[in-house]
């Protein structure tokens, strides 16, 4: 349930924010929000992250569709279980679908969030994808710590009581 809730919330928030930007800002316009940390700048990106591969954005919608199908496949197989992976996959799927919708409808992605003076420009879907990636890394670290702790307990336990 957490997966679906996060996916839908991310998708709705992302599309609503992009709609508000397209409706209320001129392309290239900048609105200071929390200078110098955050500002809104309306930009249309027909490529990928960091404005790479300009003009090839439509292909990334195919990649997003394959990615979302893969997430659903691994969820069905039971590989993505637990609250951390549920949340992570929800953020990833919501973000991927949010940007894919832009690519299919507008042939580009609406970006508007600039962090710092030299920061890149992104949108809520990009933030969600980053959050999902961070949660996966946190899950992997926790899993590794648990595995190492269990292994030490087994090794320590097997060495006692033997002559």
- 3-class SS of residue 110: strand
CB 159 within 8 A of CB 119: no
Residue 137 belongs to what H/E stretch?
Answer: helix 124-158
Distance of alpha carbon 126 from alpha carbon 95, whole angstroms: 6
C-alpha of 57 from chain center: 17
**Is there a catalytic annotation at residue 126?**
yes
- List the catalytic residue out of 14, 102, 118, 126: 126
The encoded tokens of residue 61 equal: 């919608």
User: For this structure, is 14 an active site residue?
Assistant: no
| CA-based nearest residue to 133, from 70, 88, 69 | 88
Question: Out of 14, 102, 111, 143, which one is annotated catalytic?
Answer: 111
Task: Report the C-alpha gap between 42 and 32 in whole angstroms.
Answer: 12
Residues serving a catalytic function are 111, 126
């Amino acid at each position: 349930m957490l997966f679906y809730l996060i996916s839908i919330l991310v998708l709705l928030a992302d599309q609503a924010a992009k709609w508000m930007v397209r409706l209320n800002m001129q392309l290239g316009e900048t609105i200071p929000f929390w200078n110098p940390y955050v500002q809104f700048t309306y930009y249309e990106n027909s490529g990928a992250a960091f404005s790479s591969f300009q003009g090839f954005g439509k292909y990334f919608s195919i990649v997003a569709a394959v990615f979302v199908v893969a997430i659903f496949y691994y969820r069905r197989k039971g590989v993505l279980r637990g609250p951390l992976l549920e949340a992570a996959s929800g953020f990833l799927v919501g973000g991927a679908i949010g940007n894919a919708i832009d690519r299919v409808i507008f042939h580009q992605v609406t970006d508007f969030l600039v962090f710092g003076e030299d920061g890149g420009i992104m949108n809520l879907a990009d933030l969600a994808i980053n959050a999902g990636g961070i949660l996966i890394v946190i899950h992997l670290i926790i899993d590794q710590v648990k595995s190492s702790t269990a292994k030490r307990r087994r090794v320590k336990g097997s060495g006692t009581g033997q002559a």
